[in-house]
Amino acid sequence: MEKQAHNELLRRRMGLWALAATLLAAVVVMLGAWTRLVDAGLGCPDWPGCYGFLTVPQGADQIAVAEARFPDTPVDASKGWPEMIHRYAAGSLGLMVFGLAAVAVRHRRQGLPLKLPLFLAGFILLQGAFGMWTVTLKLWPQVVALHLLGGFTTLSLLALLSLRLLTRPAAVAVEQAERLARLRPWLLAGLVLVVVQIALGAWTAANYAAVACTELPTCQGQWWPAMDFRHGFDLTQQVGPNYLGGQLTAEGRVAIHVSHRLGALAVLGYWSWLLVLLWRRSESGPVRRATVLVGAALVAQVALGLANVALHLPLAIAVAHNALGAGLLLTLIHLLWRLQHCRRSESLALEHPTLTNREATV
């Protein structure tokens, strides 16, 4: 009994650590959006330092050394600091993830998750490499988009780890669980649809296409403006001398922007139908609360997207739009997690007959 209590305490501590890492990952995603939106992606021309220093060069002596090292890139502290703040936060997140992996390995016999923390540790190394390539390849849009998607993936995996460590099993009526289980393929399809939409958003940001259309509901005064999809989605495009500000034609950027709009309509329509269906088939508090969270995040995200266009991409709203995209993804993961437990509720009820009614619906 004492050993079981010790293992439970260890599990909870690791869960709180994972939750803190999840929150930091959300901050890193927001800082990445801020860095990109203020055009600071090349604020430091090297990696991982800044002009060879650990901080942005300050003072005449450091600036003289920095500009001698990189004569084609004058020091601009207003661009360098957003980039370095983002790197400091990302580096701190990496240390937290490696710490989680170390704890998981050390206490693997105490029932702590092992594969997910180890995968996260490996993935954070890959994400760091994409951060380096973002700079060394001069904001190549393919790398920028993948780096953004990697940030969302890291955040999602940390949230999943937190749920595994901190969420108690919820038992619901078997009949209800069977009804909800039939919706699982539709929910997974909806998750894929949201991931595709996030990828479109990443491609929109990487190619500076967010302001290609500046009015609603039309674009450039037309319902179907001139668009060049071949050029807009050309994954072999060349970059030179860098991609700051983008290099696509106007028609290529419009194609990306309109695709993102159409994707938003598809996500809104599909999930509106699915959430209504899910609400009707669910009776338990946890599933209904998770459903409401998804609906609220979806409505807020669409509203922020509309505000971005109507107000011509103000910084605060644009950063919030990126952050809430991650938030929508997290609410979907939380919903699917709840439904996964509902699917297993019959066995849980048999394994834990002492659960009170209140504990069974937490």
Q: Which residues of 11-39 are buried (b: 16+ CB within 10 A; e: fewer)?
A: beebbebbbebbebbbbbbbbbbbbbbbe
Helix or strand or coil: residue 211? Answer: coil
How far is the C-alpha of 191 from the C-alpha of 263, rounded, in Å?
13
Helix or strand or coil: residue 219? Answer: strand
Whether 83 sits among the annotated catalytic residues: the reply is yes
How far is the C-alpha of 132 from the C-alpha of 260, rounded, in Å?
27
- CA 178 to the chain's CA centroid: 31
> Which H/E stretch holds residue 338?
helix 315-343
Residue among 326, 338, 350 nearest 33 (CA): 326
What does each C-alpha distance from 170 to 184, 273, 281, 353 come to in angstroms? 17, 25, 17, 12
Packing angle between helix 315-343 and helix 174-181, nearest 10 degrees? 130
What does each C-alpha distance from 134 to 44, 196, 209, 284, 318 come to in angstroms? 11, 21, 18, 45, 20
Q: Which residues contact 198 (CB under 8 A, 6 or more apart)?
A: 149, 152, 325, 329
Catalytic residue among 8, 67, 83, 283: 83
How far is the C-alpha of 338 from the C-alpha of 183, rounded, in Å?
13
Residue among 316, 217, 320 nearest 265 (CA): 217
Question: Do residues 167 and 290 lie in contact, with contact meaning Cβ atoms separated by under 8 Å?
Answer: no
Locate tokens 């650590």: which residue?
17
Helix or strand or coil: residue 74? Answer: coil
Strand partners, 50: 53
Give catalytic residue positions: 83
